[in-house]
Amino acid sequence: IAGITQAPTSQILAAGRRMTLRCTQDMRHNAMYWYRQDLGLGLRLIHYSNTAGTTGEGEVPDGYSVSRANTDDFPLTLASAVPSQTSVYFCASSGGLATDTQYFGPGTRLTVL
- Interface contacts to another protein, rule CB under 8 A: 31, 33, 35, 40-45, 48, 50, 58-59, 90, 94, 96, 98-99, 101-107
Task: Please report how close the Cβ of residue 42 comes to another protein at its closest, in angstroms.
Answer: 4
Least distance in Å: CB of 37 to another protein? 9
Nearer to another protein, 22 or 44 (CB): 44
Residue type, 21: L
Query: For residue 83, which phi and psi values (nearest 5 degrees)?
Result: -55, -30
Pick the closer one to another protein by CB: 24 or 94: 94
* Cβ-contact 91, 74 below 8 angstroms: yes
If the CB atoms of residues 15 and 57 are measured against another protein, the closer one turns out to be 57
Q: Cβ of 14: how many Cβ atoms within 10 Å?
A: 9
Q: How far is CA 62 from the centre of its chain?
A: 14
